[in-house]
Structure 1
Amino acid sequence: MTKWTPKHEAPEPLEGNVVATITGGTIVWFVLFLVQLPFYGWFDDHDHLWWLWTCLAGGGLGLVGVWYVRRRDAAIRRAAADAAATQDTAPGTAG
């Protein structure tokens, strides 16, 4: 089992504009759903209707993802502001 143990530390996670990424992906899922909607009959005839519903589910889950990452981003900013405020306040001084 030791041969599968990593010998180096994992890199730091990349932090980018997560809200924009998730929003963009959600828009793509909804656009794919709308593009396929006129072909509902063809999908139904060829037993590929799940393609349509997969796109709708992706869009719906994307909305949950947008809500989640916006709340996460706000929590990270709040924690950073609280840490900065705590650091600015010198111990033992009355404010």
Structure 2
Amino acid sequence: MAKWTPTHEAPEPLEGPVVPTIVGGTVIWFVLFLVQLPFYGWFDDHGHLWWVWTCLAGGGLGLIGVWYVRRRDAAIKRAAAGGTHGA
């Protein structure tokens, strides 16, 4: 079997509006959590309580994601400006 070698270089990764996308997703998780709270008893009675806590966990992890992508975006902008000092 012959070894595969690429015939061309890989394209640059696509960069989009990462920070607004993560913020939007985080807001959606928290909204879903708040919408489910009035039905907490129903979820508990039917064994679906994990749905509520999954939304809260998604919102919490989204906050970590917002922090991460904001720092990443700032580092990319610093690097583009020529100041490649630390994170």
User: Which TM bucket (shorter chain)?
Assistant: 0.7 to 0.9
CA deviations 1:30-76 (Å, max 9, x no partner) are: 00000000000000000100000000000000000000000000000
Paired position in structure 1 for 2:70: 70
Shift of 1:25: 0.2
What percentage of residue pairs aligned between the two structures are identical? 80
Q: Within 1, Cα distance between the matches of 2:31 and 2:52? A: 11
Structure with the larger helix share: 1
Per the alignment, residue 27 of structure 2 pairs with 27
Unmatched 5+ stretches in structure 2: none
Q: Which amino acid aligns with 2:56?
A: L
Shift of 1:11: 4.4
Q: How many residues align?
A: 81
Deviation at 1:82, TM superposition (A): 1.4
- Residues 1-95 of structure 1: pairs in structure 2 closer than 5 A: 10-82=10-82
Q: How far apart, CA to CA, are the structure 2 residues paired with 1:58 and 1:14? A: 25
Q: Provide TM-score, normalisation by structure 2.
A: 0.82
Partner of 1:44, secondary structure, is helix
Stretches of structure 1 that go unaligned for 5 or more consecutive residues are 84-95
C-alpha RMSD over aligned residues: 2.0
Offset, 1:7:
6.1
Using the size of structure 1 for normalisation, the TM-score is 0.76
